[in-house]
Amino acid sequence: MRSFFKTMAACLLALVLFAIVVFFFMIAVVGNITRKEVPQVRSGSVLVINLAQTFAELEKNNPLDMLREDESTAPGLYDVVRLIRNAASDNRITGIYLQANGNGNGYAASEEIRNALESFKAAGKFVIAHADIYSQEAYDVATVASELYLHPKGFLQFSGYSVTYVFFKGLLDKLQIQPQIFYAGKFKSATEPFRAEKMTDENRLQTAVWMNDLYDGFLLRTAMARSQDTALLRKLAVEGLVQTAEDAMQYKLVDQLKYDDEVKDEIKARLNLDKYERIEFVTLSNYWAANPRNSSGDKIAMIVAEGNIVDGKAAQGTIGGETYRNLIRKARLDQSVKAIVVRINSGGGSALASETIWREMALAKQDKPVIVSFGDVAASGGYYMAVAADSIFALPTTITGSIGVFGMLPNMESFFKNKLGVTFDAVRTSPYADAGAVYRPLNENEKKMMQASIDLIYDQFKNRVAQGRKMELNVVDSIAQGRVWTGKRAIDIGLIDRFGGVEDAIKSAAAMAKLENYHVAVYPEPETLLEQIFGKSEPMSFRDQMKNELGEEQYRIYEELRNIREWSGAQARWPFVILRAGGK
């Protein structure tokens, strides 16, 4: 027995020592990662920007990429714009090389990047763009270049814009699932894929208008950059005249046809290098690491809201009502924060969460300047949360508006019965105790109650807009109805105040707060290195993830079906599954 305890003690000691060694080993590894040298930017450097890279509103920082250069580490859009403008006055940067094989960014984000490149070129520095294949989205940004090159056997897409919607009504009919839909606003088209087999006339009209606004802007920018006539450019697309690289050259859409090595030789000639000397290329990620944000002076809080608006706390890539209420409140109560900029890139989501964020924005506005900057999209709930601000900035290519509300509840009774052989029965203490259950249709009173709720929220939405934008309610109603607008039109109907990107919004906030020396602190703050490596302390289990995706009630149905396979032999379990108890 004594020998056994000695062995146990030795094993425990060994485990403790092993844990200590592993702990200090991980500290050493993390320390080595974080001590990676700051990239050096040498004189005569050329900044490389890959347009195919997606620049989200918040920075992407993969800790493993600290050991190597990789595009999964990327600055956020604000920093991309800041870095390009910084490079214009950086004597070490002589020019920019645009790799234009695709564009990973939306229309407004691309316009912000293009505007920054215009400022860079205006400083007297070169911008050279090259691609094997130009998409229209990449070409739109690349036309800003001093020299525009295309692979001799490459291709330039010049065929016009199109928008395609997918409709699921036929699928739902086959599955015998009936979508019970309620909406306010004749242009509110979010539910169309489930209630129609093609676009309604209203949706076709609004889509044609905003799409042509974007396309007209593309043609105008191209015409100005290439000294062409917009009528000719439109003809090229209508008649499909650009099919080869030679066609692109013939119609002066590019300057020359060059292979990659020839473009590099062109850059060397500009830098007075011989053919054996190496070009000092600096990637955007390395330039970002070498040029951190300024942290001196007064603080402006920039709160980035990107993704779907949801109730409660925000998961990554969403705008949680509770999370963003707390972020704005923190900035409001922080006396070191002199102004707040909220950057919104969202197509909307929960009306309740939007109202929660709107409330906190309205409170913050009473204490300090609150400026909103719209990204690619700030529509519906994304617009709702913005209307309390002092001023709203957007670009002509921003999609906004969509002041409308909808709700949808599937009736899956026939699906369960006819496709799965599953039926339901219930005992209620009151007629509406299981209202909203997916296993039965709503009755007429429930439908009226649902529509009344939608109408109430819609009226509240319009009132928030009228109050925040200082409009008459009837005027708001005329431009609401769920209709989508481009920034180009939104400024004329009073939905936004000024054209401009995120930097313009920050400058406006600084001017309102009368700041001369300031820095921008971006929220939500990025995860720590250890959080990125090891993940959250309480990761969601598979069941939690399923529950999160399906919802509480649908998950219970799934769980009961899953449990059937375990029913072998005698069972000692109670015979009920409570799918819904009480109102909600």
227 as an active site residue: the answer is: no
The tokens 């090259």 sit on which residue? Answer: 130
Give Cα 233 distance to the centre of its chain. 31
Domains of the chain, CATH where assigned: 45-158+242-290 (3.90.226.10), 298-404+443-524 (3.90.226.10), 541-584 (no CATH)
Give Cα 155 distance to the centre of its chain. 29
Average pLDDT of the residues in 324-346: 97
Give 584's pLDDT tier (boundaries 50, 70, 90).
very low
pLDDT at residue 66 in the model? 46
CA distance 33 to 36: 6
- Asked whether the beta carbons of 96 and 80 are under 8 A apart, the reply is no
pLDDT at residue 189 in the model? 85
What are the tens digits of pLDDT across the range 135-171? Answer: 999 999 999 999 999 999 999 999 999 999 999 999 9
Which burial class, exposed, middle or buried, applies to 108 when counting CB atoms under 10 A from its CB (0-12, 13-18, 19+)?
buried
Mean residue pLDDT of the chain comes to: 87
CA distance 399 to 343: 14
What are the tens digits of pLDDT across the range 201-233? Answer: 999 999 999 999 999 999 999 999 999 999 999
What are the tens digits of pLDDT across the range 360-413? Answer: 999 999 999 999 999 999 999 999 999 999 999 999 999 999 999 989 899 999
Phi, psi torsion values for 99, nearest 5 degrees? -90, 110
pLDDT at residue 7 in the model? 63
Average pLDDT of the residues in 2-15: 59
Give 571's pLDDT tier (boundaries 50, 70, 90).
very low
499: left (phi over 0), alpha (psi -120 to 50) or beta: beta
CA distance 517 to 284: 26
The tokens 């029913």 sit on which residue? Answer: 567
Ordered alpha helix ranges (H), 297-341:
321-333
What are the tens digits of pLDDT across the range 94-128? Answer: 999 999 999 999 999 999 999 999 999 999 999 99
Average pLDDT of the residues in 308-336: 93
SS3 254: coil
What are the tens digits of pLDDT across the range 479-528? Answer: 999 999 999 999 999 999 999 999 999 999 999 999 999 999 999 987 65
Q: What would the 3-class secondary structure string for 528-539 be? A: CHHHHHHCCCCC
pLDDT at residue 549 in the model? 59
DSSP assignments along 98-135, one per residue? EE-S---S-HHHHHHHHHHHHHHHHTT-EEEEEEEEE-
Average pLDDT of the residues in 449-474: 95
Residue 236 has a CB neighbour count (10 Å cut-off) of 20
380 as an active site residue: the answer is: yes
CA distance 340 to 368: 7
Find the catalytic residue in 45, 110, 125, 188: 188
pLDDT at residue 466 in the model? 97
CA distance 326 to 330: 6
pLDDT at residue 579 in the model? 45
Find the catalytic residue in 350, 354, 380, 402: 380
CA distance 518 to 506: 10
As given in the structure block, the two tokens for residue 324 are 């963003």
Position 502, amino acid: V
- Could you tell me which residues come within 8 angstroms of residue 571 by beta carbon, excluding any fewer than 6 positions away? none
Q: Where are the beta strands (DSSP E) in 185-312?
A: 256-257, 281-283, 298-306, 308-310
Sign (positive or negative) of CA dihedral 112, 115, 121, 127: positive
* 240 secondary structure, DSSP code: T
Phi, psi torsion values for 474, nearest 5 degrees? -70, -30
Closest CA to 280 of 95, 129, 52: 95
Peptide bond into 524 cis (omega under 30): yes
DSSP assignments along 429-474, one per residue? SSTTTTTT-TTS---HHHHHHHHHHHHHHHHHHHHHHHHHHT--HH
Position 63, amino acid: P
Percent of the chain with pLDDT over 70: 82
Question: What is the maximum alpha-carbon separation in the chain?
Answer: 96
CA distance 434 to 561: 20
Residue 150 has a CB neighbour count (10 Å cut-off) of 27
As given in the structure block, the two tokens for residue 518 are 């300031």
- Could you tell me which residues come within 8 angstroms of residue 548 by beta carbon, excluding any fewer than 6 positions away? 540
Phi, psi torsion values for 167, nearest 5 degrees? -115, 135
155: left (phi over 0), alpha (psi -120 to 50) or beta: beta
As given in the structure block, the two tokens for residue 46 are 């050329």
